[in-house]
Structure 1
């Protein structure tokens, strides 16, 4: 009796601890990370569906309809908020952890606890559980199919037939990769049964093999009503979703057409093509505990050789091989691999606990166990709450930068004066997920191309359209720049009168700057203060601060010669000593982007990702000390930067070190 109570308590702990941890890490600060561009597109479809009831499945575009229809539930209850839009992925991420509980008999309390913790704390799974894309729904229902199958094999209860078939139907409504999932499940199951038959005595193998089919036939006959209802339910679920609930019957034809379309996409060599080793590198770098325990689970599965462990082992192996062979790779697909790998880790720990007999065994095992799980927790926290937009991280893929919040703050300040009917023209080709963030601005127009008669109070353009914009823009504007995602900078033009009325008058002219007041030569020392960042936007805490006493000029032709790993950004600040007033030309020659600001005004805009490029600008300067800020970033490949000037009556040269100064209190190195 006591042992039963103890076992029950252990199982309860093994269930609730991972679920609570999964809930905490997924719900905490859910709106911290800006929407990914894919989330922006998905939110666009959801908003249209909510407001108009209109959704048409297009097999060549944006996967299945499940995400949009299920997303209506929190939207109706909570409205349009970041939290409501991401609520269901969070809940499905938590339920994926909870769904391991029905498998408790397969790997015991410690196995259940371990598998649950690995899924709950996996940096990849937790990261994409906080992101409204299709993948988390896919792995939940994939696991539901497996759980239903093995529960039916244990109990022979018809309700698990319903659960399995419903899950199969929902997987089809989620994403076209269902065909990969089903093929892997079928092949893994065949291999598991072959192992089971192969382990039988030689004289009984044919009978055992034949018995598989006779058992299947008899079970179908015994549960014929459940099978018939399940088949009807399968077609009904798919018909409802793909026909947009009887409003677009053409969508049903797309169920099979999409396989042809996405099979071509999967093998294309475009921007998403990655090498075979791509997923292994990600697991090795961010999921080491899952990788080590999962691989160890294979050896235990081979020793145990029952149908469940063999199935799980081949599910893991096959899904890794197939996803690695497909050339089209994105980091969120990795969670399809990590789910069975985590279960294999639980299988291994269950086996280890079975051989722990003495106290010193436990004294060695538990500290190691806690350290391993603790390290995984650290990795998950670091990714989800610190490095969530750091492009150096393989899992952070074309992620919208936190700088977007600075843009939103700017627009909010303008709209507080002019109202939510502020006219905004977005002529940038790249703008997702801005429609989600601009949803309350009634007159935000997303053209995605250049238009005529640009006179709106706010105009947003990317670098490629800026020259054309300047020809068509009417009136006087102030310009600020923000990074949308790696390689995509948005230049935001705000009408000068509105800008200065809200933020203050910074200068009297676009081409004139004044010397900084209250700065004397005695306060200054040679060199500019350089702050070095692990990102291209020069944001956050610098990893290095030092005084640059020499020229701002360097050339690194490849990654191996760089002193810092790409991507990185550098911001040099200080004062420019001007002894002769007149018109000065400043320029940068850089690969990738660079900018020069004199007294807060941008003089050189050489931004964006590009090969070595020369851009210049002119400004009139009086004698004195002028604040100067030079920014540079490198996203990869060669790194080249030269800061140049042409003083009045002189020739172009690198800005000499003797005119670059900084305040004494800023000179301490870190």
Structure 2
């Protein structure tokens, strides 16, 4: 049976939809990057980036914090963009680096255009542009989005080489592979899944040979003959890039050794380490999560399943294309299964699997659209697809902090399934209140932060202040003009400080279940001398304890010494002692 002729888009329509995708992706990724409070991970990475800027040396910790690649990328961008010193950096500066990586992921879809089909490529780009998970973590200063970009670039380079590209594609793919290792150690799961996909594709289909007259081939034709050892053209640049990154430019070889010993720590943490989730956690995250709203990327998953089935059972003129689609299907299933098998789960961990699902969703959409009999039915399918895209857009706008209705803003709300152990927005109120207090002082006040995890992300917000102590237990002396403490230390602090010396301000949410109280030392009024002669009142009135109805300014308590009624955030968890949040 001859393969069914595939219906395709014009090149102009593909370019138009690609431009639309880029516009949507920019709209959801770039505005208001600084409105969401810093997550602890973002704050730690921001501080480490500042140290890297100042010292020129990245201190790799094999037990945590991941590789140097994101810091190196950020440092390069900082130099090009003219950030200035770390004291002047903003949350927007840091997150813009990741947002640009997110746009890069979108553009790498074009490397697979001849595999996905023109229609499939356009749909995959649109889905990538508005996917809530892709949008949210493209605004998040952590390693994952750069890792996804490098993975997509690596696979795209290898596909382009298999379709007639030069050895430069192998070199570029090898460099991207090495930088993956320097970005995050979990890249080995992607390598393992890719190897499994390659084995199955070779067994079921055969070689990834190009189709003659391939109209979507990107890159010049390969020189005569294949290199006898093509893997060397990948391995050598991969090793060089990885070693250069971990060794700080071939200067610190301990970092290179630690990049391998780190996997001992990862094996220990794979059991959960406080992040244990059931095996179906990621599936539910992608397909169905209801908390006030229905959060779902079921459109992507459903189309991806169709794409997987089409890759296996359809007949292709180009067997190389089928080999790649089978590879991509097996790679996606193995990768998602591997992450689901591990007890340790965080929502951003499966971004690379979700990206593979999005590419396969383009394949599925292309298969359905091509199978539609007649232009009218295809327009109906396009309309249904547009409704699904609108639902994704509606979710994405709620994640960005730019929704015109504040009630629909979920950028740091625990009801957002992509929010994980996130800093509460009320912490920004604490930061502003302390900033106002500090500005009113003649000299820099002493600040004591007393929490079990030393108050992250406060060290980021107060990184320019030198007189700050971050403590994980109650100190012998409580002498700070500003004291920030969680509920665990509240009673002990109240017992140690004079009751009339501090004003209390609360509650502020550090993270779910961690509530902070702010103590500000009251400004003592300057003593005034009683005049020898009182013309306006009899001498007995000097010792009269009755308050004056119109006291002179010198007797009015300074502003801020009386605590205001506490304001409760509706997104905070239940408070200790049965307190109920009020709107």
Same fold (TM over 0.5): yes
Q: Offset of 1:272 from its aligned partner? A: 0.2
Go from structure 1 to structure 2 and tell me whether the alpha carbon gap of 1:262 and 1:368 turns closer, same or farther (over 3 Å shift).
same
Q: Is the 8 A contact 2:153 2:173 kept in 1?
A: yes
Query: How far apart are the structure 1 equivalents of 2:115 and 2:351?
Result: 22
Q: How does 1:462-473 map to 2 (within 5 A)?
A: 462-473=486-497
Residue 409 (structure 1) aligns with: 432
Go from structure 1 to structure 2 and tell me whether the alpha carbon gap of 1:477 and 1:103 turns closer, same or farther (over 3 Å shift).
same
Residue 421 (structure 2) aligns with: 398
Residue 219 (structure 1) aligns with: 226
Among candidates 280, 295, 303, match of residue 313 of structure 2: 303
Residue 256 (structure 2) aligns with: 252
Q: Is the 8 A contact 1:106 1:308 kept in 2?
A: yes
Among candidates 111, 131, 152, match of residue 102 of structure 1: 111
Matched, 1:476 2:425: no
Q: Is the 8 A contact 2:512 2:572 kept in 1?
A: no
Matched, 1:494 2:523: no
Q: How does 1:295-444 map to 2 (within 5 A)?
A: 295-304=305-314, 306-385=322-401, 386-418=409-441, 421-430=444-453, 431-444=455-468
Q: Is the 8 A contact 2:68 2:245 kept in 1?
A: yes
Q: Offset of 1:466 from its aligned partner? A: 2.2
Residue 562 (structure 1) aligns with: none
Helix, strand or coil at the partner of 1:494: strand
Q: How does 1:17-416 map to 2 (within 5 A)?
A: 17-76=20-79, 77-79=82-84, 80-197=89-206, 219-221=226-228, 231-266=235-270, 268-285=271-288, 286-304=296-314, 306-385=322-401, 386-416=409-439
Q: Offset of 1:234 from its aligned partner? A: 2.4
Helix, strand or coil at the partner of 2:163: helix
Q: Offset of 1:504 from its aligned partner? A: 5.6
Q: Offset of 1:371 from its aligned partner? A: 0.4
Query: How far apart are the structure 1 equivalents of 2:154 and 2:443?
Result: 48
Among candidates 572, 575, 580, match of residue 593 of structure 1: 575
Go from structure 1 to structure 2 and tell me whether the alpha carbon gap of 1:391 and 1:248 turns closer, same or farther (over 3 Å shift).
same
CA deviations 1:134-177 (Å, max 9, x no partner) are 11111111111110111000114111011110011011101111
Query: How far apart are the structure 2 equivalents of 1:344 and 1:297?
Result: 5
Residue 539 (structure 1) aligns with: 569
Q: Offset of 1:341 from its aligned partner? A: 0.6
Q: Is the 8 A contact 2:208 2:324 kept in 1?
A: no
Query: How far apart are the structure 2 equivalents of 1:21 and 1:83?
Result: 19
Query: How far apart are the structure 2 equivalents of 1:108 and 1:477?
Result: 68
Q: Is the 8 A contact 1:457 1:498 kept in 2?
A: no
Query: How far apart are the structure 2 equivalents of 1:355 and 1:420?
Result: 74
Query: How far apart are the structure 2 equivalents of 1:393 and 1:483?
Result: 17
| Count of aligned pairs between the two proteins | 502
Q: Is the 8 A contact 2:171 2:234 kept in 1?
A: yes
Gaps of 5+ in 2: 1-7, 210-221, 289-295, 316-321, 402-408, 526-556
CA deviations 1:311-344 (Å, max 9, x no partner) are 1111111111100001100011121221011111
Gaps of 5+ in 1: 201-214, 508-512, 514-536, 541-566, 570-591, 595-605, 608-629, 634-665
Return the TM-score normalized by structure 1.
0.70
Query: How far apart are the structure 2 equivalents of 1:327 and 1:144?
Result: 29
Query: How far apart are the structure 1 equivalents of 2:56 and 2:189?
Result: 32
CA deviations 1:509-540 (Å, max 9, x no partner) are xxxx9xxxxxxxxxxxxxxxxxxxxxxx9535
Query: How far apart are the structure 1 equivalents of 2:442 and 2:228?
Result: 68
Matched, 1:447 2:471: yes
Q: How does 1:626-645 map to 2 (within 5 A)?
A: 631-632=580-581
Flag the structure with higher strand content: 1
Query: How far apart are the structure 2 equivalents of 1:465 and 1:429?
Result: 9
Q: Is the 8 A contact 1:169 1:237 kept in 2?
A: yes
Helix, strand or coil at the partner of 2:483: strand
Helix, strand or coil at the partner of 2:464: coil
CA deviations 1:47-101 (Å, max 9, x no partner) are 1111233421121111111122222134342241111111111000010001001
Q: Offset of 1:420 from its aligned partner? A: 7.8
Helix, strand or coil at the partner of 2:381: helix
Q: How does 1:514-525 map to 2 (within 5 A)?
A: none
Question: What root-mean-square deviation, in Å, do the aligned CA atoms of Structure 1 and Structure 2 show?
Answer: 2.8
CA deviations 1:436-467 (Å, max 9, x no partner) are 11123232222333222222210111111223
Among candidates 540, 543, 560, match of residue 503 of structure 1: 560
Query: How far apart are the structure 2 equivalents of 1:249 and 1:423?
Result: 40
Query: How far apart are the structure 1 equivalents of 2:177 and 2:430?
Result: 43
Go from structure 1 to structure 2 and tell me whether the alpha carbon gap of 1:220 and 1:229 turns closer, same or farther (over 3 Å shift).
closer
Helix, strand or coil at the partner of 1:72: helix
Return the TM-score normalized by structure 2.
0.80
Q: Offset of 1:222 from its aligned partner? A: 8.1
Q: Offset of 1:7 from its aligned partner? A: 2.2
Q: Is the 8 A contact 1:122 1:287 kept in 2?
A: yes
Go from structure 1 to structure 2 and tell me whether the alpha carbon gap of 1:132 and 1:342 turns closer, same or farther (over 3 Å shift).
same
Helix, strand or coil at the partner of 2:469: strand
Q: Offset of 1:378 from its aligned partner? A: 0.9
Query: How far apart are the structure 1 equivalents of 2:78 and 2:558?
Result: 37
CA deviations 1:597-626 (Å, max 9, x no partner) are xxxxxxxxx37xxxxxxxxxxxxxxxxxxx
